[in-house]
Amino acid sequence: MCGIVGYLGKKNTKEILLSGLKELEYRGYDSAGIAVLQNGNFSNYKAVGKLVNLEKKTKNFITNGFAIGIGHTRWATHGKPTELNAHPHIGENSYVVHNGIIENYVEIKKDLKNDGVNFLSQTDTEVIVHLFEKNLKSEKSAFGAFKKTISKLDGAYAILLVTKSENDTIFYAKHGSPMLFGVNAENEKYFASSDTPLIGQCSHVNYFEDGDYGYVSASEIVIFDKNNIKKDAVLSALSENKLSAQKDGFRFFMEKEIYEQGEVISDTLLGRITENEVIFDEIPKDLFDGIKELKLCACGTSYHSALSASYLFERYSKIKTSVEIASEFRYREPIMSKDTLFVVISQSGETADTLETLKMAKNAGLKTLVICNVDNSSMVRLADATILTRAGIEKGVASTKAFATQITVFWMLTLYIAKIKKSLSNKKISRQISLLREVPSVVKVTNEMHEKIKRISKRYLHGHGFFFIGRDIFFPLALEGALKLKEISYLHAEGYPSGEMKHGPIALADPELFTIALLPEHLHFEKSKSNVEELSARDSTICAISAVEFEKADDFIQISKCKDYMLEFFEMMVVVQLLSLEISIRLGNDVDMPRNLAKSVTVE
C-alpha cells in the first residue's frame, strides 16, 4: 500500500525522506520517489522496485541547510508500476504525493486536457498538481489555490504538495486516508501516513482528522477543519516503540489484518470493476481461448480459497473446475491436458509445493495463471499470467486478509469468465458486481461484534475438539475456520461438510465437542439447520453463526441481514477469524508467531 513522508528542516532531507519511506516498506510498494525543494530549486528522483534502487539514484544528492521534501512509496492501482507513474507528480513548478483515490479524476483530467495540459502519467494523482497550478493563476495565494483544488476532489486522499511559489511550505490535506504531522525540539517538522517513520524523529504528533487541510512552514502550523474553521494542533506524545506503532494500537498483527480487510478488498477491486464488467488488464486477452477446464492448486489457506472458488466457477462461469492440494498433486502422476488452465494460488508466491506444481504444468505445456499477493515472487515470475491480490504485506502467520482478497479475486474472475463464456446474462453480472462493491463494508469489524466474540470465546478454551461445519461454499469456509483455530490456539479442530457429520464424526458428539455451525440464510438454510439439530440432539455444544435466530444454539453470533450468500460468506469469515484470535489470546499464545509454523513454507 502507498506511503507518504514529508520533512521541513535543516538535516539532510534526502536521508530523512528515505529512512521514513523505509519504515513504510512493510506496507508493500512497487516504486518510490522523492522531491526536494531548496533555494528555489527542485530535485526529483524516482525508481521502480525496492527502495535500494532509489537509494542508488540519489547516492550523490545531499542538501545543506534548510530544505523541504516529500516522498512516496507507490503501490500501483491506476497505471502500471513505472517511473512515470511513481510519485511525486510534477506540474510546472510544483510536486504532489497522494495516497487514496481521486474518484472524479477522469472528469478533471478531461477539463485540464481541454485547457491544453499535458499529462505524463496514467495516475489519478497527477490531476491534483495540474489543477493546483491552474488555480494558482486565478487565486491570490498558493494556499488559496490549494484550498480550491481540494474542494474539487472526490474520493479518499492524503496529500502533500510543495510549490516554488512558497518555497518553505508544505501544503497538506487529509480525507479518508491516514496522515499525521510531528514536531521535535529542534523545530523540525515531519509528515507521514503512519507514525512509524516519525518514531525516534519527533517527540509529539498531531493526527489529522478527516477534512483537515492547511500548511506547515518553518514558522507556522496552520490547520483548518472540514468546516473551514481554523484550529490548533493537538499534540500528543509519540510512542518510542516501533513494533507497537506498526500494529496501529492492535494487540497483534493478525488482529490489525482482520480489521484491515475492508480497506484491502477495496484495493483489490480498485480499477477492476465497472457497472457491468470485470476488467483484468493484467491478463492476456486470449488466456481463456481453447480452455475447457480449470485446475486450481495450492496449500493451506490458499487451498481453501481455491476450493471456495470452485463452487463459484461451476455455478456461474459454467466451467469444469477441480482443486488440488499441491503436495499431493506433485507426486500422484496427474493427467494434464492442454485445454486446462492451471491456476496456482499463493499469498507468498514462494511455497515450494505450489511452485513445483506450477513448473510441472508449464513443462506439460499448459497455460498458467497465478493469483498471488507478492509481485515479483517466484510464481509470478514463472506463470504466464498474474492477478495480484493487493492485500499488502501480511505479517501474521495465520492468513486472514490474504484469504479475503483471494476470494475477492476469484469472485471477480468468475464474472470475467462468465462474460467470455456468456454463461451469465449482463443483468446478472451487474447484480454480482453490485454485491462485490458491498464486500468492503460487510467485512468491517463492529465493536459490538468483536465484544460479543470476546465474551463468548471464554467458553471455548477446552473440550476435546471443534467441528466447523457448513454446506456448499461454506464448507471450505468451515475448513478455513478450523485451520485458523488450530494454527493459533493449538486446539484440535476440523472442518466438515454439514451433511457428512452423520457418516461418522457425529459419534464424537457430547457436551465437550464444540460445533461451530455456519448457517447462511441464503444458501441451503433448512438443510444445514437440520444437520445442526442432529448434533444438538446428541448434546454437542453449538455455537451458531447466522443472520437468522437459531434457538437450538448454546451460543449465537448474529451476522447482519445480507442480500446474498456471498456477503454472508464474507461476514462469517470475519467471525471465524475473530473467534480464533480471541480464543488464542485467552490461552496466552503468540498469535502472530504460532509454534512450529513459518509464514512462507519454502521447503517441501
Alpha-carbon Rg of the chain, whole angstroms?
26
Contact status: 357 vs ligand AGP (CB under 6 A)? no
Shortest distance, CB of residue 548 to ligand AGP, whole angstroms?
29
The nearer residue to ligand AGP, 70 or 299, going by C-beta atoms, is 299
Which range, of 214-222, 242-250, 271-279, 342-350, touches ligand AGP by CB under 6 A?
A: 342-350
Task: Please tell me the distance from the alpha carbon of residue 274 to that of residue 149, in angstroms, as a whole number.
Answer: 27
Contact status: 577 vs ligand AGP (CB under 6 A)? no
Shortest distance, CB of residue 296 to ligand AGP, whole angstroms?
13
List binders of ligand AGP among 487-516 (CB under 6 A).
Answer: 487
Whether residue 429 contacts residue 276, with contact meaning beta carbons closer than 8 Å, is answered with: yes
Task: Please tell me the distance from the alpha carbon of residue 389 to that of residue 339, in angstroms, as a whole number.
Answer: 25
CB-count exposure of residue 289 (10 Å: 0-12, 13-18, 19+): exposed
Among 398, 409, 518, 585, binds ligand AGP (CB under 6 A): 398
Whether residue 519 contacts residue 548, with contact meaning beta carbons closer than 8 Å, is answered with: yes
List binders of ligand AGP among 473-492 (CB under 6 A).
Answer: 487
The DSSP call for residue 171 is: E
Among 135, 354, 457, 531, binds ligand AGP (CB under 6 A): 354
Contact status: 260 vs ligand AGP (CB under 6 A)? no
Shortest distance, CB of residue 578 to ligand AGP, whole angstroms?
15
Contact status: 301 vs ligand AGP (CB under 6 A)? yes
Contact status: 397 vs ligand AGP (CB under 6 A)? yes
What character string, x for contact with ligand AGP (CB under 6 A) and - otherwise, covers 521-560? Answer: ----------------------------------------
Chain residue at closest Cβ approach to ligand AGP: 300
Grid coordinates given for 461: 478454551
Whether residue 97 contacts residue 87, with contact meaning beta carbons closer than 8 Å, is answered with: yes
Say whether the peptide bond before residue 88 is cis (omega within 30 degrees of 0).
yes
Q: Among candidates 470, 492, 475, which has minimal Cα distance to 483?
A: 492
Which range, of 236-244, 265-273, 397-405, 445-453, touches ligand AGP by CB under 6 A?
A: 397-405
Contact status: 302 vs ligand AGP (CB under 6 A)? yes
Task: Please tell me the distance from the alpha carbon of residue 409 to that of residue 313, in angstroms, as a whole number.
Answer: 12
Whether residue 172 contacts residue 128, with contact meaning beta carbons closer than 8 Å, is answered with: no
Contact status: 601 vs ligand AGP (CB under 6 A)? yes
Give the number of residues written for the chain: 604
Task: Please tell me the distance from the alpha carbon of residue 61 to that of residue 55, in angstroms, as a whole number.
Answer: 10
Tally of CB atoms within 10 A around 83 = 14
Contact status: 136 vs ligand AGP (CB under 6 A)? no
Among 310, 351, 378, 540, binds ligand AGP (CB under 6 A): 351
Task: Please tell me the distance from the alpha carbon of residue 546 to that of residue 140, in angstroms, as a whole number.
Answer: 59
CB-count exposure of residue 549 (10 Å: 0-12, 13-18, 19+): exposed
Task: Please tell me the distance from the alpha carbon of residue 277 to that of residue 281, in angstroms, as a whole number.
Answer: 12
Grid coordinates given for 297: 492448486
- Which residue out of 2, 202, 299, 562 is catalytically annotated? 2
Whether residue 180 contacts residue 207, with contact meaning beta carbons closer than 8 Å, is answered with: yes
Q: Given the DSSP bridges, would you call strands 31-38 and 67-74 parallel, antiparallel or unpaired?
A: antiparallel
Contact status: 346 vs ligand AGP (CB under 6 A)? yes
Among 3, 28, 69, 300, binds ligand AGP (CB under 6 A): 300
Shortest distance, CB of residue 301 to ligand AGP, whole angstroms?
3
The nearer residue to ligand AGP, 134 or 484, going by C-beta atoms, is 484
- Which residue out of 10, 11, 242, 599 is catalytically annotated? 599
Contact status: 199 vs ligand AGP (CB under 6 A)? no
The nearer residue to ligand AGP, 196 or 305, going by C-beta atoms, is 305
**599 labelled catalytic:** yes
Q: Mutual orientation of helices 565-586 and 447-457 as an angle, nearest 10°?
A: 50
Contacts of 247 (CB under 8 A, 6+ apart): 253, 256
The nearer residue to ligand AGP, 278 or 591, going by C-beta atoms, is 591
Contact status: 593 vs ligand AGP (CB under 6 A)? no
The nearer residue to ligand AGP, 156 or 402, going by C-beta atoms, is 402
Among 99, 149, 169, 347, binds ligand AGP (CB under 6 A): 347
What are the catalytic residues? 2, 599
Residues near ligand AGP, by CB under 6 A:
299-302, 346-348, 351, 354, 397-399, 487, 597, 600-601
